[in-house]
Amino acid sequence: MGYGNLLRADDGCGRLLAADLAKRLPPQRAQVLSAHQLTPELCLEIARESVDRALFIDVARHQQRPFVLHRIRPEGDKGRCGHQLSPELLLMLAQRLYGRSPRAWLLTLPAYRTTLGEELSRQAQAALPQALERCLALLEPSRRQSPKRNNP
Amino acid sequence: MSRTIHIEPITRIEGHAKISIQLDAQGRVADARFHVTEFRGFEKFCIGRSFWEMPGITARVCGICPVSHLLASSKAGDAILGVRTPAPAVSLRRLMNYAQLVQSHALSFFLLSGPDLLLGMDTDPAQRNLMGLIAAHPEIARGGIRLRAFGQHLIRTLGERSVHPSWSVPGGVRSGLNAEAKQKILGELPAMFTLVDQALDLFKDALDRLKDEVDVYGEFPSLFMGLVGEDGGLEHYDGRLRIVAADGKIIEDQVPPENFPELIAEEEEPWTYLKFPYYAPLGPEKGMYRVGPLARLNVCDFAGTRKADRELRQFRHYCAPGKPVNGSFFYHYARLIEILHALERIEELLGDDILDARHIRSRAGVNQNVGIGVCEAPRGTLFHHYQVDDHGLLEKVNLIIATGQNNLAMNRTIKQIAQRFLTAERLDEGLLNRVEHGIRAYDPCLSCSTHEAGRMPLHLELHGADGRLLDEAHRA
């Protein structure tokens, strides 16, 4: 699930990576979603019985490494809910409301340019292909050798 | 000595704001202000763009009700083209507008205001939140999420994406709806009606429990404005403007939306980026009006759908015969009735063969230099007013947004709540949340409503712990 604003340069990198993943992952085994922001109803998607792993893809400002991968778990974020949510809260909603929360990770890409426009920063452009391979290794471990290290 | 109490940030609303409450020397509430501290600049940076781009650009004003901006902007574009929008395109736009009402109202009622309404204003804040709501009423939280998903799915089916769809354009829409998608949506409707019925039952229970709040929140006379059909029925897409006074008298009726500048004037204050629209003939003091679900139900003669009309009759038990329901607490009730109405209208529209017609877009060039597009957004009447040159480039843009139109009433509501529930000696959580909830009842969208880049003078104040003014700075 890639999310961000495609008109805010690097902020949209999560969605660009999701679009690349959609081309590489078999549709019968993986559902790729792209969203402007995480909204409450998306918990219905990750609470499906057919979902055993979820990968959220976002950006982090001025991140040095091409990608950072974290295991994330359901967390209530003190129960605060607005029009957009954290991935941890989305997992918590899935667990509390539907009794299911898949194993989940958050992968962040570097964001150096978040001004209006679609042109990515040099760092973001360089990060995308590396992050794509890491995502494929995570989501399709049987087809690839999964690196033991989480982060480059 | 006077003292100012600040409450910030206001949680569970879109955007950022702060509230200040001014006490007098005796510690009584003298005034209360709702400060909106962000600005956007859409009215300025759109100048020079082509009006063809405006539906796509202005949809970006908001991630919650982009559809409203998309539609109002497309309608302004229709007027610039000077064409008749094909009837199937109008039906498809209506369908998307109703879908947005469902998703936006569902989020507001079930997930944002639900914790206050169903758990009580004095509940421990550690519990009075979404997780507390899930623990106490999981079926309500699930219901809110399902209704949201239903509305978002319908918007996505029509416009490819649920946030910022670029589907409606000047002259019509880009694509229709296929039979399979129609059947899928129709199949989901019965469950949606059940969810709203359950929520209505719970809300009516809450009305009994929260009598103190019901009697105070925004319970003051004001004008109400909204669109109505030619027959006076509830209208969300087309129609004409009607204004009803506090005594129930209709003071403006069947006013063509393009004549809105004769009805509405705007004031500014140095302490907020949010403007203060008012009914021009009565001036800023007496011309305070409210828009949105409560106003729409107050100005219409009937809803025009069976289930919503049944609820509307009950809704009107909360006011004297022939008078509007004044309490802003009833915005919540009005939202549920509007969800019901929207679901009924969606059912009607999906059963109409007109959606199968292929002619969904009229094509033309610039035939008019001024275009005004109006529709009812979830939060109230939305105006897009464009002036273009002969090439269609924008020379002037004016957006009048629902939240701004409720600004005077929101400030009045805060003052009223503070006067009723605040004592100088005690600032408890219950009071803070009541003030916040008074604002949340209007479901304001602050990112939409601020658009005065560069013109708003700023006034900064620095207060010491004892309330004394230590320093201040002005920017003209």
Dist. CA B194–CA B133, nearest whole Å: 19
The residues near B186 (Cβ < 8 Å, ≥ 6 apart) are B347, B350, B351
**What average pLDDT score do residues B1-23 get?**
62
Residue B126, pLDDT score: 73
Q: Looking up tokens 């758990």, which residue turns up?
A: B119
Residue type, B174: R
Range with the poorest average pLDDT among A21-30, B33-42, B48-57, B107-116: B33-42
Of the partner residues A39, A79, A98, the one whose CB lies closest to the CB of residue B129: A79
Chain A environment of B144 (Cβ under 8 Å) = 40
Pairing, β B458-463 against β B380-388: unpaired
**What average pLDDT score do residues B208-225 get?**
87
**What average pLDDT score do residues B409-413 get?**
89
Residue A77, pLDDT score: 55
The residues near B336 (Cβ < 8 Å, ≥ 6 apart) are B105, B109, B196, B199, B200, B203, B311
Please report which confidence band the pLDDT of residue A140 belongs to, taking 50, 70 and 90 as the band edges. confident
Residue of chain A nearest B161, judged by CA positions: A35
User: Higher-confidence residue: B366 or B429?
Assistant: B366
User: Higher-confidence residue: B136 or A128?
Assistant: A128
Range with the poorest average pLDDT among A80-84, A89-93, B264-268: A80-84
Please report which confidence band the pLDDT of residue B5 belongs to, taking 50, 70 and 90 as the band edges. low
Please report which confidence band the pLDDT of residue B473 belongs to, taking 50, 70 and 90 as the band edges. very low
pLDDT of residue B19 exceeding 80: no
Residue B427, pLDDT score: 59
Q: How many CB pairs under 8 A join A and B?
A: 68
Chain B environment of A98 (Cβ under 8 Å) = 142
The residues near B159 (Cβ < 8 Å, ≥ 6 apart) are B67, B70, B96, B165, B166, B167, B168
**What average pLDDT score do residues B23-32 get?**
76
Residue A82, pLDDT score: 56
Closest by CA position to A121, among listed A14, A7, A10: A10
Chain A environment of B148 (Cβ under 8 Å) = 39-41
pLDDT of residue A115 exceeding 60: yes
Mean pLDDT (chain A) is 88
Dist. CA A87–CA B400, nearest whole Å: 34
pLDDT of residue B436 exceeding 60: yes
Phi, psi of A60 (to 5 degrees): -130, 130
Of the partner residues B14, B129, B130, the one whose CB lies closest to the CB of residue A83: B14
pLDDT of residue B457 exceeding 50: no
Min distance B410 CA to chain A CA atoms (Å): 20
Interface test with B, best of A39, A98, A118 (most B CBs within 10 A): A39
ipTM metric? 0.82
Residue B453, pLDDT score: 29
Residue A52, pLDDT score: 93
Q: What distance, in Å, lies between the first and last C-alpha atoms of chain B?
A: 29
> Is residue B426 classed as helix, strand or coil in its secondary structure?
strand
pLDDT of residue B254 exceeding 80: yes
Residue B449, pLDDT score: 43
- Which tokens belong to A135? 């995502």
Interface test with A, best of B145, B161, B379, B403 (most A CBs within 10 A): B145
Chain B environment of A80 (Cβ under 8 Å) = 11-12, 129-130
Please report which confidence band the pLDDT of residue B469 belongs to, taking 50, 70 and 90 as the band edges. very low
Claim: this prediction has a pTM higher than 0.90: no
Mean pLDDT (chain B) is 85
pLDDT of residue A10 exceeding 50: yes
- Long-range contact list for B7-12, CB < 8 A, 24+ apart? B7/B432, B7/B435, B7/B436, B10/B436, B10/B439, B10/B440, B11/A80, B11/A82, B11/B436, B12/A80, B12/A81, B12/A82, B12/B112, B12/B113, B12/B436, B12/B440
Residue B364, pLDDT score: 95
Min distance B165 CA to chain A CA atoms (Å): 11
Please report which confidence band the pLDDT of residue B122 belongs to, taking 50, 70 and 90 as the band edges. confident
> Is residue B383 classed as helix, strand or coil in its secondary structure?
strand
Please report which confidence band the pLDDT of residue B221 belongs to, taking 50, 70 and 90 as the band edges. very high
Please report which confidence band the pLDDT of residue A147 belongs to, taking 50, 70 and 90 as the band edges. very low
* Beta bridge pairs of residue B162: none
Residue B464, pLDDT score: 35
Instruction: Determine contact, residues B257/B227, Cβ cutoff 8 Å.
Output: yes
Residue B465, pLDDT score: 42
Dist. CA B97–CA B443, nearest whole Å: 17
**Greatest mean pLDDT range, B202-216, B428-442, B444-458:** B202-216
Residue B421, pLDDT score: 80
| Cβ contact, residue pair B146, A44, below 8 Å | yes
